[in-house]
């Protein structure tokens, strides 16, 4: 059965899972290395929600996530990559090949996982609209510059919210931690440290968060409503490392895939790049991962070590 499936499957050099900045940049590199590349994209890139980033090199006036992804897709296509809008739920590893069955069966000599992370957000229906409007923001490194001197809330368990709140003081002194913990958890956790940093703490009701014109409103546990220019959730995330783990790759305590200096996992021929690796979650970092991984994949397949 496997032999029959192998004969029906198209053989390629590299399968890329994930059509975000890391996956698409790697596809461009590999295409320019004259490699046969297929990118499977479920359309869930975290970058697609970015309303405007001025933190991406080369775009001094800023660029939206959707526009950036469109440009990256066009570049990958121009360099010969095959982009398929499909999700992959399972990859098999047989010998030196990786197999994907389904509507688009392929056999690949290498795999690059660029499956990112999924942020845990407040359970409200308007999260996407709030992110696109800037009243909810996900990454203070990406866009903290946009909230200079504005009123900002950081929502989540105090232990997680503390780090974002302290970082945001780089841009504004008007930061409030909107704690989802109980009062006892706050007192016994990072609460005192937050207060020492001059950051106010309020307990809140997360599902009460809602847009209010160009601002965000949240109901506090004391029954009052507080208004912010932007709210940053600090509720953790789920990594996209499952495909790699199922193939035998190792992960750290948070579920991020562990890679070497060339972005290769513990499984020969299996690479990971972008947010699925535990590094600073930035587009520029994703591009760097992509360049490193693609070059090593090309050299590995060529059995060349000239770089």
Report the helix count and the strand count for the chain, using DSSP H and E. Answer: 10, 16
Spatial distance between the Cα atoms of 105 and 5, rounded to a whole number of angstroms: 8
What distance in Å separates the CA atoms of residue 115 and residue 5, rounded to the nearest whole number? 26
Instruction: Give the whole-number percent of the chain exceeding pLDDT 70.
Output: 93
Phi, psi of 15 (to 5 degrees): -100, 125
- Overall average pLDDT of the 218-237 stretch: 96
For residue range 170-193, what is the model confidence (pLDDT) as tens digits? 999 999 999 998 766 676 666 677
Going along the chain from its start, the domains and CATH numbers come out as: 2-118+236-302 (3.50.50.60), 121-233 (3.50.50.60)
> pTM to 2 decimals?
0.91
**pLDDT, position 278:** 93
Mean pLDDT taken over the chain: 91
**CA atoms of 182 and 211, how far apart (whole Å):** 25
Report the pLDDT value the prediction gives residue 157, as an integer from 0 to 100: 92
| pLDDT of 88 higher than 80 | yes
pLDDT in tens, 127-181: 999 999 999 999 999 999 999 999 999 999 998 898 899 999 999 999 999 999 8
Radius of gyration, CA atoms only, the chain: 21
Q: What is residue 176's predicted lDDT score, i.e. its pLDDT?
A: 95
Q: What pLDDT score was predicted for residue 153?
A: 97
305 vs 161, residue with greater confidence: 161
Short-list 61, 58, 60, CA closest to 25 = 58
**What's the rounded Cα separation, in Å, for the pair 57 and 284?**
7
Contacts 24+ apart (CB under 8 A), 186-193: 186/158, 189/157, 189/158, 189/159, 190/158, 190/159, 190/162, 191/158, 193/162
């Amino acid at each position: 059965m496997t032999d029959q499936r192998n004969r029906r499957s198209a053989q390629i050099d590299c399968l890329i899972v994930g059509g975000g900045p890391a996956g698409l940049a790697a596809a461009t590199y590999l295409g320019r290395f004259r490699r046969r590349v297929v990118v499977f994209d479920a359309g869930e890139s975290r970058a697609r929600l970015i309303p405007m980033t001025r933190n991406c090199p080369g775009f001094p006036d800023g660029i939206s996530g959707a526009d950036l992804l469109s440009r990256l897709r066009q570049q990958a296509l121009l360099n010969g990559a095959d982009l398929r809008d499909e999700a992959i739920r399972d990859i098999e590893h047989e010998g030196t090949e990786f197999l994907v069955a389904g509507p688009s069966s392929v056999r690949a000599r290498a795999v690059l996982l660029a499956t990112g992370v999924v942020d845990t957000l407040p359970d409200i229906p308007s999260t996407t609209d709030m992110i696109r409007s800037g009243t909810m923001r996900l990454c203070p490194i990406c866009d903290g510059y946009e909230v200079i001197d504005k009123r900002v809330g950081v929502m989540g368990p105090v232990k997680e919210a503390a780090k974002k709140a302290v970082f945001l003081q780089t841009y504004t002194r008007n930061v409030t931690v909107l704690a989802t913990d109980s009062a006892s958890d706050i007192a016994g956790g990072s609460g005192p440290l937050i207060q020492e940093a001059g950051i106010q703490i309020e307990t809140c009701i997360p599902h009460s968060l809602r847009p209010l014109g160009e601002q965000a409103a949240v109901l506090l546990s004391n029954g009052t409503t507080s208004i912010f220019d932007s709210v940053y959730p600090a509720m953790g995330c789920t990594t996209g490392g499952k495909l790699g783990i199922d193939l035998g790759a190792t992960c750290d305590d948070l579920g991020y895939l562990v890679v070497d200096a060339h972005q290769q996992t513990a499984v020969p021929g299996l690479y990971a790049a972008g947010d699925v690796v535990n590094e600073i979650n930035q587009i520029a970092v994703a591009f760097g991962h992509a360049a490193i991984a693609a070059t090593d994949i090309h050299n590995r397949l060529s059995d060349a070590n000239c770089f």
